Homo-oligomer: A and B are copies of this chain.
Amino acid sequence: MPKRTFHRLDDDKKERIMRAAIEEFQAHGFEKAKIETIAQNAGVAKGSIYQYFDDKRELFLYAVTWGLEYFMKIIDRQTPLKDMDVYDYFLSSGRDRFELIKNEPLLVAFSTDVASGKYGTLTQEINNELGRVGEEYELRLIANGKKRGTIRDDLDDKVLLLFFQGVTEKFTMKIVEKVKDFKVEPTEEQFLEMEDFMKNMVSLLKQGMGR
């Protein structure tokens, strides 16, 4: 969707522009984000931005997909998408996720906002597609769990999915929030705290809060 000219840029410049864009959109939202500021922070002229993208909307949309693809690459490298048990889903990739949030807090925060629908109709298509893909994978996790007998089979998959999503999203948000407080390098202690947090979440997923 960006123009040919953008693709011909060296990777450094491309990345500088995308990060500047994401930073600006994340800080001020779509409407109040200024192209001028993005250009300045990326070290290019305002006019150049329009050599690369038709308009603000396109720049934004590409920033979203750029961020997603960036994650895809990392996540694919980290956690092979084997069919695993729901309860292992987060635990197994806990350290990786923690690293990702720690190393790319801006990208994670931006993507979280996009996913939560903060950009309204702008990202509707992307969200639909993304939701579909995510759901597909999670539904497979649930189906697997039912087969293995680790998930109760008296409830509809859709209901279980909602439950699973509700819990995991909320906990992920909490972690993102926590990581923001790490002014410097997080300690091993902080990681252990996070791991404990994850274990509690999994325990709640599994056993619920009843007694």
Contact = CB atoms under 8 A, between A and B. Distances in A.
B31 A152 contact: no
Interface in A195-210: 197, 200-201, 203-210
A179 B145 CA distance: 31
B163 A210 contact: no
B210 A151 contact: yes
A209 B151 contact: yes
A106 to B, nearest CB: 16
Interface in A119-163: 120, 145, 149-153, 155-156, 159-160, 162-163
Interface in A157-178: 159-160, 162-171, 174
Contacts of A208: 204-210
Contact of A204 (B29, B163, B200): B163
Nearest to A28: B120
Interface of A: 29, 31-32, 86-87, 116-118, 120, 145, 149-153, 155-156, 159-160, 162-171, 174, 197, 200-201, 203-211
12 contacts: A116-B118, A151-B210, A151-B211, A152-B207, A155-B204, A155-B209, A156-B200, A165-B170, A166-B166, A167-B167, A205-B210, A208-B208
